[in-house]
Amino acid sequence: MSKRIDARNLNVYYSKFLAVEDVNINIEPRSVTAFIGPSGCGKTTFLRTINRMHEVIPGAYAEGELLLDGDNIYAPGVDPVNVRAMVGMVFQRPNPFPTMSIRDNILAGHRLNGARMSRSEADDIVERSLRGSNLWNEVKDRLDRPGSGLSGGQQQRLCIARTIAVSPDVILMDEPCSALDPISTLAIEDLINDLKEEYTVVIVTHNMQQAARVADKTAFFNIAGTGKPGKLIEYDDTSTIFSNPANEETQNYISGRFG
Amino acid sequence: MTQTASAEPKKGSALKRSRGGAAGDKVFSNTALAAGVIILLVLAFVAIFLVTESLPALWPQVFSNQDSIASADTFGQYVLPLMGGTVLASIIALILATPVAVGIALYISHYAPRKIATPVGYVIDLLAAIPSVVYGAWGMTFLAASMVPIYGWLHNNLGFIPFFAGDPSTTGRTLLTSGVVLAVMILPIITSLCREIFIQTPKLHEEAALALGATRWEMIRMTVFPFARAGIISSVMLGLGRALGETMAVTLVLSPGVFSLSLITSGRNATIPSEIALNFPEAFGMRQSELIAAGLMLFIITLVVNMIARWIVSRHKEFSGAN
Ligand SMILES: Nc1ncnc2c1ncn2[C@@H]1O[C@H](COP(=O)(O)OP(=O)(O)OP(=O)(O)O)[C@@H](O)[C@H]1O
Ligand SMILES: [Mg+2]
């Protein structure tokens, strides 16, 4: 399953501080969308409002609407827990549960739903998710070892496996490769390409080649100055953004003439 | 095959020059070593003192001019009931205090808004500062009396359990009351240690759980508890250590007697520390040796408890999150 994402007049605050102002964006299902922009422009902040993870931070709240296939996740009565089960997230630093084995890491999401499953069903999920994240061959002989014993790139793919194990509709990734070497980065980029067959993928990246390689569409965020809110400046096909952007700020940023 | 020539760095080369920090390192490591040695020496002296002073009671035929110890036929007959009472009181305290302490610590670290969490934390720390004699006085005068009706109820409804068999006390000065006082005393230690550890759970892992769609409680079970496991065990063991060794509170609350599983009867059970405190001032000769030997037994219990705790902690090292 894969859902479209529409943000309408979305403002995000940290207490009184308006961090992201008036974002309107439509993200197609089964596509990869990259968020780029200078540090502090609110990419992470906006990304986290797509699964309401910003609410974990005391004082953070969002105004406006965010629709998943037309359903507003900020409508009254919506439980953020349900939103997050539909919208998975991969973080900047790999964070497998250190107290769990590789296998248990992948089953963690299923165990949350309290689903009783047979040993063979569980095995299926583990294998399918690990194959889905191109990790199966590397870890199939040590599924009962702790996940923290893997390399950084393997850990990150384990985190992706853990996310896709619960079959979300959307996968959010916040600079998933920034802690990885080029080989692991390529592995993850390949993976992202496969993932869009089934999921809506949104990725934040500082690496513009990466955005150009993986993303169908790219959104450029910018900030007018410290203390000012971040804004969505331009959103278009990746090729357009990188070859022929409509906005001068975008042009300056992608050509390195920034600030 | 080429080989790069290697040479010892020359004298005075930057590689060999020691920086100011190196001297500091040395001073620190020597101080740490000295402190460690002193601790070991003190421990050794305590152990030697305990053992030599206990020998007459442990083996009267050899180390004294008497055939047996003063208060019983054998030392085992004397000390085992005391050990039983001590352990029983401490276990009651742990069973009562641990869940409450962990609950409060979790509330402070993960549920309460900061405005409430901070003052609650202070109050808990304040509880730890109350001297044990105050707890004892409170247990004797207030708590004991208010426990009497509860004992009646326990006896009438759960009397088939050995712990609640026997005549319910009319003064309330029983082992169970002592256990409750001990529980209140160790509550702050366990709570504040657990809170410290719960707070340190990496945000990264908490967010990983939440992003999978975990509720707060599920997040706590998936990340906070596994992360804090070793810490919880250690804090409980610290609490147990305090409960095992607590003298004043038990001495004031408990009206002692022979060992019995019945926790709600007065004039039953005694603990090693309060036995020593009550009798040591008038004791001499063999009686004194008995009491010191009892102290040695307490020392051994505490040691064993600590070893078990370490073993439990180390069993899951690989999965502890420390790596
Ligand atoms: N927890 C927080 N509390 C208060 N302000 C925050 C918090 N997190 C971020 N901000 C502020 O919100 C703004 C946007 O931050 P955000 O982390 O979304 O930027 P970003 O685009 O992801 O930057 P980077 O590329 O460096 O990751 C910044 O001004 C930042 O200082
Ligand atoms: Mg960021």
Looking up tokens 């019945």, which residue turns up? Answer: B262
**Bridge partners, residue A25, by sequence:** A7
Closest ligand 1 atom to the C-alpha of A43? 21
Q: What local confidence, expressed as pLDDT, does residue A259 receive? A: 46
Question: Distance of alpha carbon A79 from its chain centroid, rounded?
Answer: 20
Look at chain B and report how many structural domains it folds into: 2
Residue A238 near residue A211 (C-beta atoms within 8 A): yes
Domains of chain A, by residue range, sit at 28-52+80-254
- Would you say B207 and A53 are in contact if contact means Cβ atoms under 8 Å apart? yes
* pLDDT tens profile A57-93: 989 999 999 999 999 999 999 999 999 999 999 999 9
| Residue with CA nearest ligand 1 atom 5 | A14
- Rounded distance between C-alpha atoms, residue A25 and residue A234, angstroms: 10
Nearest CA to ligand 1 atom 6: A14
The rounded Å distance from CA B227 to ligand 1 centre is: 27
Strand pairing report for A32-36 and A200-204: parallel
Q: Which residue from A144, A199, A196 is spatially nearest to A166, judged by alpha carbons?
A: A199
- φ and ψ at A149, to 5 degrees? -85, 5
Lowest mean pLDDT among A88-92, A100-104, A215-219, A224-228: A224-228
Give the pairing of strands A71-72 and A17-27.
unpaired
Across the range B96-110, mean pLDDT stands at 95
Contacts of A183 (CB under 8 A, 6+ apart): A153
Choose among B273, B264, B195, B278: nearest CA to B241. B273
* Pair (B254, B179) in one structural domain: yes
Q: Are residues B103 and B185 in the same domain?
A: yes
Q: Which ligand is nearest to the CA of A35?
A: 1
Q: What is the pLDDT of residues B2-31, one digit of tens each?
A: 455 566 666 666 676 666 677 788 899 999
pLDDT given at position B13: 67
Q: How far is B232 from chain A (nearest CA, A)?
A: 15
CB contact under 8 Å between B211 and A51, yes or no, is: yes
B321 in a domain, yes or no?
A: no
List Cβ<8 Å contacts ≥24 apart for A233-238: A233/A37, A235/A25, A238/A34, A238/A211, A238/A212
* Judgement on whether residues B52 and B171 belong to the same structural domain of the protein: no
CATH label of the domain that carries residue B192: 1.10.3720.10
Whether B64 maps to a domain, the answer reads no
**Residue pointed to by tokens 């390192």:** B25
Contact by Cβ (8 Å): B273, B235: no
**What is the four-CA torsion angle of B81, B85, B86, B91, rounded to 10 degrees?**
130
Residue from the list B205, B210, B229 with its beta carbon closest to the beta carbon of A97: B205
Is the per-residue pLDDT at B1 higher than 70?
Answer: no
pLDDT of amino acid B215: 93
3-state secondary structure of A45: helix
What is the DSSP-derived secondary structure letter of residue A27? E
Which amino acid makes up residue B252? L
pLDDT digits (tens, 9 = 90+) for B258-300: 888 888 888 889 999 999 999 999 988 899 999 999 999 999 9
* Bridge partners, B174 (sequence order): none
Tell me, yes or no, whether B67 lies in a domain: no
What is the C-alpha separation between B33 and B63, in angstroms, rounded? Answer: 38
Evaluate whether residue B187 is within a structural domain.
yes
Q: Are residues B88 and B224 located together in one domain of the fold?
A: yes
The whole-number pLDDT of residue B35 equals 95
Task: Confirm or reject: Cβ of A217 under 6 Å from ligand 1.
Answer: no
Partners of A101 on chain B (C-beta within 8 Å) are: 319
**Distance from Cα B118 to the centre of ligand 2, integer Å:** 30
Q: Same domain for B124 and B235?
A: yes
pLDDT tens digits, residue range B33-90?
999 999 999 999 999 999 999 999 998 888 888 888 888 888 999 999 999 999 999 9
**B142 and B199 fall within a common domain:** yes
Domain match, B140 and B215 both: yes
C-alpha A227: how far from chain center: 25
Residue B318 touches chain A, beta carbons under 8 Å: yes
Contact: B227, A98; criterion CB under 8 Å: yes
Tell me whether B205 touches chain A (CB under 8 Å). Answer: yes
Do B39 and B82 lie in one domain? The reply is no
Say yes or no: CB of residue A200 within 6 Å of ligand 1. no
Does any domain span residue B322?
no
Q: What is the spatial distance between Cα B166 and Cα B49, in angstroms, rounded to a whole number?
A: 40
The Cα–Cα gap between A185 and A191 comes to 10
Q: What are phi and psi of A138, to 5 degrees?
A: -80, -30
A99 lies within 8 A of chain B by CB: yes
Q: Is the pLDDT of residue A258 over 60?
A: no
Q: What is the pLDDT of residue B11?
A: 64
Q: Quote the pLDDT of residue B319.
A: 63
Contacts of residue A82 in chain B, CB cutoff 8 Å?
A: 213
The set of residues, in sequence order, having a beta carbon less than 8 Å from that of B183 and lying 6+ positions away, is B92, B93, B94, B96, B97, B100
How crowded is residue B2: how many other Cβ atoms within 10 Å of its Cβ? Answer: 3
pLDDT tens-place string over residues A148-185: 889 988 999 999 999 999 989 999 999 999 888 888 88
Residues B106 and B175 reside in one and the same domain: yes
B170 found inside a domain: yes
Q: Which of B280, B65, B98 is nearest to B191 (CA)?
A: B98
> Which domain range does residue B21 map to?
2-58
Tell whether B96 is covered by a domain.
yes
Q: What is the mean pLDDT of chain B?
A: 88
Residue A129 contacts residue A171 (beta carbons within 8 Å):
no
A95 and B207 within 8 Å at the Cβ level: the answer is yes
| Binary contact (A88, B211; C-beta < 8 A) | yes
Interface contact B208-A84, CB threshold 8 A: no
Answer yes or no: is the ipTM higher than 0.90: yes
Specify whether B119 is located in the same domain as B23: no
Q: Pick one of 3.40.50.300, 3.40.50.1820, 3.10.200.10, 1.10.260.40 as the CATH number of A28-52+80-254.
A: 3.40.50.300
B213 vs A56, A81, A159: nearest CB: A81
User: Widest CA span of chain A, in angstroms?
Assistant: 57
Measured N-to-C along each axis, helices A152-165 and A119-132 cross at an angle, to the nearest 10 degrees, of 120
Mean confidence (pLDDT) of chain A: 92
Helix (H, G, I), strand (E, B) or coil at A122: helix
**Surface of A (171-230) touching B: CB under 8 A:** none
Residue A29, chain B, CB below 8 Å: the answer is no
Question: Sorting pLDDT into bands at 50, 70 and 90, what band is B323?
Answer: very low
List chain A residues with CB under 8 Å of B321. Answer: 98-99, 148
Q: What is the tens place of the pLDDT at every residue in B116-159? A: 988 988 888 888 889 999 999 999 999 999 999 999 999 999 98
B66 found inside a domain:
no
Claim to verify: residue B302 and residue B154 sit in the same structural domain: yes
Residue B277 touches chain A, beta carbons under 8 Å: no
- Please count the residue pairs, one from chain A and one from chain B, whose beta carbons lie less than 8 angstroms apart: 85
Task: Please give the angle made by the CA atoms of A9, A13 and A16, to the nearest 5 degrees.
Answer: 130
Which of B114, B212, B319 is facing A108, going by the closest CB pair?
A: B212
Say what percent of chain B tops pLDDT 90.
58
Say which residues have a Cβ less than 8 Å from residue B284's Cβ, sequence separation at least 6. Answer: none
Same domain, B113 and B145: yes
User: Where residue A44 falls among pLDDT bands split at 50, 70, 90?
Assistant: very high
Exposure string for B101-125, b = 16+ CB within 10 A, e = fewer: bbebbbbbbbebeeeebeeebeebe
Q: Which of B210, B222, B229 lies at the smallest CB-CB distance from A53?
A: B210
